[in-house]
Each structure stands twice: as C-alpha cells, then as structure tokens.
Amino acid sequence: MDAWILKRARRTLPRLLKKAGLDLSGMNVYTEAATESYACGAAIALLAGAQSVHCMARDSRFGPARDAIRQTRAAAAGLGADVARLTFSEGHDARALELADLVTNMGMLRPLNAELIQRLRPGTVISLMYEAWELRSGDIDFTAAKQRGVVVVGVRENHRAVECHHSAAVLLLRGLLEAGLAVFCDELLLVCANPFALYAVPGLAAQCDRLYLLDRGYGGPNLPRNVQRVFVEDPVSRAYDALLLLDVPQEGRWTVAADKEAVWPLPCLGTWDVCVQAMGDVRREDFPGVKFVPDAAPARGYMGLNPAALGIDLVARTVVAGLSAAAEARTALAACREPPGGASPRMQWAVLMNGEAGQ
C-alpha cells in the first residue's frame, strides 16, 4: 500500500468506524488479501473488533498473491490492528471457511460456488459487498446457500454513515477529465436506469453545459434546468461530447451496441466522441474512433471504473458498509434464530437475498 494511502487511512478510518458503529466483536471474518486501497479491508475488520480475519489470496491482474498478502499485512500493521488475529492462504482455506461467521463477496473470493458454501456453517452470513439490485448471479450459488442455511445480504450503500452513492457523479467526472474533456462546456448523454441516477444527475448537471438523460424515470420528476430526459423512441439523433454509462449489466445482452437486441441500441442514442464506461457492457468494436475510459474494456458484467478510482476514502466506505450489513444480519439471526422478516424491524444496512435483486 502506498504511504500516502496509509496516511490518509490512519486519519479517516477511526472517524468512519465510529460513525458507522461497526462492531464485529466475537466474529470470524473470511475475506480477501488485496493490493493498494483494497488492502485495507482486513484491517477494517480487525479494527472493528473481529475475533479473527482470514484473507484468501490468489494471483490476479492486480498482482501475484504474495504481493496481496504482503500489502494486506502491512496495511493492518500500519493502521494499528492486531495482526496476531490475521491469517492468510493462497487459495481457499477449508478450515477458515468452516469457522467463518461472515464472508465477503470480494473479487478474489469469487465465485462462491457450491463446493465452498458447503464448507460454511448454517447461519453464516455472506455479504454481497454491493447493492442488492446490482446482483450478478454468477458471484454466489444461491441454491447451495439456501440448502446450507447460509444467509446472503445486499448492502444499503446510501446509509447516512457512508453515503457511497454520492460518488456516482464524481466517478463519471473523473472519467471525463481523464479523457481530456473540459466538462463545463460539454453536452453529455447519461445512461443510468437505476437508483444511481438520483445522485449522478445533480452532480453532473452542476458541472456541464447540458445533460441529456436516459433513465426510465429513475432520476425523479424534478430535473435541473439544463437536464433533458430523452427516450429510445425519440426520432432525433444528437451528437454528444460524451456518453456516460452507469447502467446495470444484463446477462446475455450488451448494454450499448449497434445490435438492435442491445438494451440501448446505437441508432436510438446518437453519436459521441468519448465513452466513460463506468458500469455496463459496451461492444466497443461498434464505435470506431471513440475514446474509451478506461482504455481496456472491463470483463462483461463488471465495472469499468470502481471505487478504487476515487481512492481509499470510497473503498473504505464500501467495505464498512458491506461488513456492517453482514454484522447486522448476523446479530439479527443470533437474536431470533431465523432470518428476520415480517414484523421484524427494517434493517438499516442489510437487504436479505433469495437469489433475486432486493428492493
């Protein structure tokens, strides 16, 4: 982990943990060993009082497993966590899975398949580590989880203690600046038919000349004066400075492509010079001459710009939110011996999952 990232985390993490009230006392956490900003995940669990934290590492495009282990251990030590409660493995560790109370659906652990889930005890909680409506079915075997009595929870990332959704506009603006656009004089097309629209629209509208919006109403009825909602049926094909894509991928379909079977077919969208592919799948060969951010196409179904693009602050908030959801569900299970529902109080952090996106 970079020295500046560690310095920043030392200052901001205690305040964040206090505000969130994250308490993992007595819980065994199974998560990933990671690099750079994501190396703080294990440290956060330890600082929140976890009894033990096991980190699974593997070689990836972010670096070899040994680097992830080294950086994760160094981050924990640098943040003052008790590294004696921290263990590592290259690949999954059967014994650590059997002892786990909380499992994070982090990148290095995926997919959490039937073989892994069978190692977990009934009542173990898996946190998606993202919102329920962003669900990728390939991440977790929900059938195996249900049969095993393992609970899967989505995360309310707009909880007042973390407010992760406010990053939506900033993430897109970062992509525009990286592409070399001035933004303030640009006309932009935002494709965002999901709850992120409520946060992305005001932030973008305040910075650009004009914002066109394909959102299926998610941005709400009262739009800023320089925002115009457009529809796929519109006969007008406009030329935009940039397409901003922040839409949930659909399995088996391109989000944006020239193909009429795409969620948003090219003919109904217009043309643009830049595409900021934050979330959603683009068939890039359909767009010759367009500058893409990021340069390399992300894997199908995955974000092109993830929280790490905004540094340690947003990464820490997403980790705290994911752990908080799992801890809340775990506490509820311990209290009532079954998944809460019906007349149970509405949980602040967690959305109980059954293999379908939660509301």
Same domain, 50 and 11: yes
Nearest Cα neighbor of 275 from 301, 304, 303, 242 is 242
Same domain, 90 and 201: no
Encode pLDDT of 69-87 as tens digits: 999 999 999 999 999 999 9
Same domain, 142 and 36: yes
Same domain, 300 and 316: no
Same domain, 292 and 340: no
**Band (67; pLDDT cuts 50, 70, 90):** very high
pLDDT recorded at residue 359: 42
Lowest mean pLDDT among 97-106, 294-303, 318-327: 294-303
Mean pLDDT for 31-56 is 97
Residue 335 within a domain: yes
Residue 161 within a domain: no
**How many Å apart are CA 194 and CA 248, to the nearest integer?**
7
Indicate the residue among 305, 325, 343 that finishes a domain: 305
Residue 25 within a domain: yes
Encode pLDDT of 206-245 as tens digits: 999 999 999 999 999 999 999 999 998 887 789 999 999 9
Mean pLDDT for 10-24 is 96
Q: What CATH number has the domain bearing residue 332?
A: 3.40.50.720
Same domain, 44 and 83: yes
Same domain, 148 and 277: no
pLDDT recorded at residue 233: 82
Higher pLDDT, 339 or 165: 165
The yes-or-no verdict on residue 323 having pLDDT over 90 is yes
**How many Å apart are CA 8 and CA 3, to the nearest integer?**
9
The dihedrals phi and psi of 292, each to the nearest 5 degrees, come to -105, 145
Residue 22 within a domain: yes
Same domain, 121 and 79: yes
Query: The whole model's pTM is what?
Result: 0.93
The yes-or-no verdict on residue 339 having pLDDT over 70 is no
pLDDT recorded at residue 356: 56
Same domain, 174 and 138: no
The yes-or-no verdict on residue 303 having pLDDT over 60 is yes
Same domain, 178 and 285: yes
Same domain, 171 and 235: yes
Higher pLDDT, 9 or 236: 9
**How many Å apart are CA 133 and CA 155, to the nearest integer?**
10
Q: What CATH number has the domain bearing residue 254?
A: 3.40.50
The yes-or-no verdict on residue 297 having pLDDT over 50 is yes
Residues 6+ apart with CB under 8 A from 23: 48, 49, 327
The yes-or-no verdict on residue 342 having pLDDT over 50 is no
Residue 160 within a domain: no
Structural domain boundaries, residue 283:
167-305
Domain count, the chain: 2
Query: Long-range contacts made by residues 11-17, C-beta under 8 angstroms, separation at least 24?
Result: 12/312, 12/313, 12/316, 13/40, 13/43, 13/44, 13/47, 13/79, 13/316, 14/47, 16/161, 16/162, 16/316, 16/317, 16/320, 17/44, 17/47, 17/48, 17/320
Residue 358 within a domain: no
Residue 357 within a domain: no
Same domain, 150 and 19: yes
Question: CA end-to-end span of the chain, whole Å?
Answer: 36
Residue 86 within a domain: yes
